[in-house]
Amino acid sequence: ALAGKCALVTGGTSGIGLGIAKRLKTLGASVIINSHETPSDVQPALDDLNKHDGPDVRFAQADMSAHVNIDEMMDALKRDQISFDILVNNVGIQHVKPIVDFPVEKWQQILEINLSSSFYLSKHVLPHMKAKKWGRIINIASAHGLVASAYKSAYVAAKHGILGLTKVAALEHAEDGITCNAICPGYVWTPLVEQQLADQCKVHGLSKQEVIENIMLQPQPTKKFVQIDEVAELTGFLCGDLAGSITGTSLAIDGGWTAR
Ligand code: NAD
């Protein structure tokens, strides 16, 4: 369904981004995955992806915490005649600390990676999409784009912010065949969540099992982690032509978390 389309997935070498890359590839898109890692770091992920049907997936390295890196990556891709019909702003990091102890540099880094990179990349891809009269921007936000939790100030602020950016991009390009939407997953078991377990144990004074049950799954009425494939499937749907009237919205995929 996406044959002939070219897609960029930021933070596409792990977790949700990797799952989205696989889904878009099997739908026929030419996919480029990005991360800050080295090509040899990501080779195993690429080899694994390329076992699946669809055009070969390629890698574009750039650390999304700096505007200049994003420009360099996009300029290099442009020189290779690559322009994007689909942009999935998926990259995101977490840091768990009360505001009073939250390092200013971490705040700035999270805002750059989780929010500003989507703005910079949207600036790059929108002119091509507009010329083609077709485009899809999907911002992977979070349930934390809709509601808050303690100790995640930068993450929650960035995720609330990206819902605003999503709406503006949708309005500015509503007549151009371009849609822009946000997906708001609840807890998905990925390396990002695994890595925050230890910090959550520390700030809450709980064991790992207690954090999983009382902090992560407690707000999700289904009491289950959301699956990577579920987020990937929704992303694929939003890229399709039948999703052409869905724009400027946020779709929760959170086991009922934000229904409360
Ligand atoms: P993950 O840690 O498994 O993957 C993150 C990806 O981003 C990796 O490919 C990593 O290499 C890349 N990355 C990290 N820092 C980077 C940088 N500076 N520059 C470029 N790439 C960088 O994370 P995940 O859980 O798959 O999360 C993906 C997105 O989904 C994030 O935006 C996250 O906020 C969001 N999300 C995750 C959950 C969850 O429970 N896992 C829930 C809601 C939203």
Predicted local confidence at residue 109, as pLDDT = 98
CA proximity to 123, closest of 174, 70, 77, 82: 70
155 is catalytic: yes
**46 pocket-lining for ligand 1 (C-beta < 6 Å):** no
Atom from ligand 1 closest to the CA of residue 144: 43
- Does residue 151 sit within a domain? yes
- Does residue 85 sit within a domain? yes
**257 pocket-lining for ligand 1 (C-beta < 6 Å):** no
Q: Which of 120, 151, 155, 187 is catalytic?
A: 155
Token digits for 24?
Answer: 């878009």
For ligand 1, mutation pick of 112, 190, 197, 222 (most atoms within 8 Å of CB): 190
Q: Domain residues for 84?
A: 6-186+226-259
Confidence at 118, pLDDT banded by 50, 70, 90: very high
**93 pocket-lining for ligand 1 (C-beta < 6 Å):** yes
For ligand 1, mutation pick of 63, 73, 88, 93 (most atoms within 8 Å of CB): 93
Confidence at 68, pLDDT banded by 50, 70, 90: very high
* 44: phi then psi, degrees, rounded to nearest 5: -60, -40
- Does residue 174 sit within a domain? yes
Predicted local confidence at residue 258, as pLDDT = 97
Q: Tens digits of per-residue pLDDT, 182-208?
A: 999 999 999 989 988 999 999 999 999
User: Residue 156: which CATH number?
Assistant: 3.40.50.720
For ligand 1, mutation pick of 9, 16, 36, 224 (most atoms within 8 Å of CB): 16
Predicted local confidence at residue 252, as pLDDT = 98
The answer to ipTM > 0.95 is yes
Residue type, 119: F
Which of 99-108, 194-203, 248-257 comes out lowest in average pLDDT? 194-203
Residues near 171 by beta carbon (within 8 Å), at least 6 away in sequence: 248
- Please state, in angstroms and rounded to a whole number, the distance separating the CA atoms of residues 21 and 7: 8
Percent of the chain with pLDDT over 70: 100
- Does residue 92 sit within a domain? yes
Contact 147, 177 (CB under 8 A): no
Average pLDDT over residues 108-137: 98
Confidence at 145, pLDDT banded by 50, 70, 90: very high
- Please state, in angstroms and rounded to a whole number, the distance separating the CA atoms of residues 253 and 183: 7
- Please state, in angstroms and rounded to a whole number, the distance separating the CA atoms of residues 74 and 199: 35
Token digits for 151?
Answer: 């100790």
- Please state, in angstroms and rounded to a whole number, the distance separating the CA atoms of residues 197 and 248: 33
- Does residue 33 sit within a domain? yes
**193 pocket-lining for ligand 1 (C-beta < 6 Å):** yes
Distance 86 CA to ligand 1 centre (A): 18
Percent of the chain with pLDDT over 90: 97
Confidence at 93, pLDDT banded by 50, 70, 90: very high
CA proximity to 98, closest of 236, 227, 200, 225: 200
Distance 90 CA to ligand 1 centre (A): 6
Q: Tens digits of per-residue pLDDT, 10-37?
A: 999 999 999 999 999 999 999 999 999 9
Residue 151: HSE in the Cβ half-sphere, 13 Å Cα cutoff: 12
Predicted local confidence at residue 225, as pLDDT = 96
Residue with CA nearest ligand 1 atom 10: 11
- Please state, in angstroms and rounded to a whole number, the distance separating the CA atoms of residues 49 and 216: 29
Distance 131 CA to ligand 1 centre (A): 30
- Does residue 198 sit within a domain? no
Give the β-pairing of 6-9 and 250-253: unpaired
Q: What total number of domains does the chain contain?
A: 1
**59 pocket-lining for ligand 1 (C-beta < 6 Å):** no
Average pLDDT over residues 88-105: 98
CA proximity to 14, closest of 139, 156, 155, 188: 188
Distance 29 CA to ligand 1 centre (A): 21
Contact 31, 57 (CB under 8 A): yes
- Please state, in angstroms and rounded to a whole number, the distance separating the CA atoms of residues 69 and 75: 10
What integer best gives the mean pLDDT of the chain? Answer: 97
Confidence at 54, pLDDT banded by 50, 70, 90: very high
